[in-house]
Structures are given as C-alpha cells and as structure tokens.
Amino acid sequence: MNTYDLSGRVAVVTGGANGIGFHAARRLLDSGARVSLWDCSAERLGEAAKALRSLDSTVDVQLADVSAYQDVDGAASRVCSAFGRIDILVNCAGISGPFARCDEYPLEAWNRQLAVNLTGVFHSCRAVIPYMLRHGYGRIVNLSSMSGKEGNPMSSGYSASKAGVIALTKTLGKEYATTGVLINCITPALIDTPMHQASLKRMPAKLMKSLKAKIPMNRIGQPDEVANMIAWLASEDCSFSTGATFDLSGGRATY
C-alpha cells in the first residue's frame, strides 16, 4: 500500500461508521491523520469506533444527521474544539432509494435522498470550510456516483442527487481555488458495500445485470479501492486539482 503523510492532519468522515466511509477512515488513520467519524446511527458509530481505536485511541465520533444543519454545525464545532483544526472532509454519507419510474416514484423517497445525498454534502462543506480557511489549507472529497454522470433508469432520486454533488463540487472548487482549500469528487461505479448489498434485494435482477455488464473489468469495485483514491485526494500530493471529478468505474466511464 502506498502511504501519504497526513501526520498532524485532522479528518472528518461523514457516513464513517460503515461502507466506503469506514474504509476511508481506516486508510486516513493508516496515513497518520486523526479522524472524527460522523454518522446518524449511534450503534454503528460504537462498533466502528471500537474497531478503529485499535489503530488510534483518539478516534472521535459525532452523532449527526447530515440533512440537519444544526447537527452538522455542532459536530464541526466540537471537532475543532477537541483537535484545534479540521484539514480534511470526506463526504461519504448517503442513502439509496426505491427502484421505480418517475410517475410512480415516492415523493418522500425523492425528498429524503436529496436531503441526505446532496443537501448533506452542502451542509458539511458550509460548516467545515470556515475552519479550513483559518489555516489556509483544506482537502474536501465528495462521494458522487456514476449514476450522477449517466443517470440510471428507475433511480431518479439517487441519480439526480449524485449529479448535484458533481455540480456542487465544481462550484465550490472555483469559489475556493485560491484559498488552499481544494474540493474534488469521486464517481464510483458499483462498489461492494452494505448499501450495495441492500440494493441487491430491491433492484430488479435485469437492471443489476445491465449495470454490471457496463463495467469492462467485469467486476464490481471494493471499498478499499475507493479509500485509496480518497487518500490521495486528501493529501498535499493533490495540489493542482480542484472542482474535478475522478472516475472509479472499472472502465465504465466514457467521459
């Protein structure tokens, strides 16, 4: 494993209690960062903290629903009070939704996916960026999806929310380009996570087969492969990329 020197850096990982967020947190810890896990499940946070504190006893946890700005703002304030700074923000918190055509898509599912997957990223960036600006340094990595680039049928809420993350990333990259705070996003294809496993139970088999068939490598990705890209984007080695979209698709991406 290549290593990046994140010694002295403080990282926040939303959705950090499982899936890509958990693997990203572990990768950042391995690189020397101090890490705060944010999640809306106290049970998952407890399990994740127990696992990661074997690597670093200072792992912090914050119970927060990213769709609620007061939760996010309070968590950011507590992390900065505890560690003195926030250098890295990895926005992994996200949810999937039902599989249905637009005319049958549940309104509550649409609203909740936009609230968590898109507004949650905005909330976290809005709350954390001021702490980064104090030190003239920051790295933000937003998790989007190939769905946000291509649009997947039967997934209007998820696809639209992830497309919004790409647009938000491009906007913020331009806004803060000269401040030392760099903001990029990753667009994974299918990744073997608990959310993916849950989707398998709801997604029509024909649709899942078609999505996997689009991947030239003929396999789905692993969370550690996403974490490896996050580690680079969160490091000082990433110095001339901002507002950019990085594909992680096994060759699926065509633009």
Q: Which two tokens stand for residue 94?
A: 């996200």
Helix axes 42-52, 19-30, angle to 10 degrees: 30
Name the one residue in this structure whose structure tokens are 């396999």: 219
Residue 117 CA to residue 93 CA, distance in Å, equals: 7
Residue 67 CA to residue 112 CA, distance in Å, equals: 8
- Helix and strand numbers, DSSP H then E, in the chain: 10, 7
For this structure, is 158 an active site residue? yes
Active-site hit among 69, 158, 176, 255: 158
Residue 64 CA to residue 197 CA, distance in Å, equals: 24
Phi, psi (degrees; rounded to nearest 5) at 181: -100, 115
Per DSSP, 53 falls in state T
Contacts 24+ apart (CB under 8 A), 40-48: 40/64, 40/65, 40/66, 40/93, 41/17, 44/17, 44/18, 45/17, 47/17, 48/16, 48/17, 48/18, 48/22
Active site residues: 158
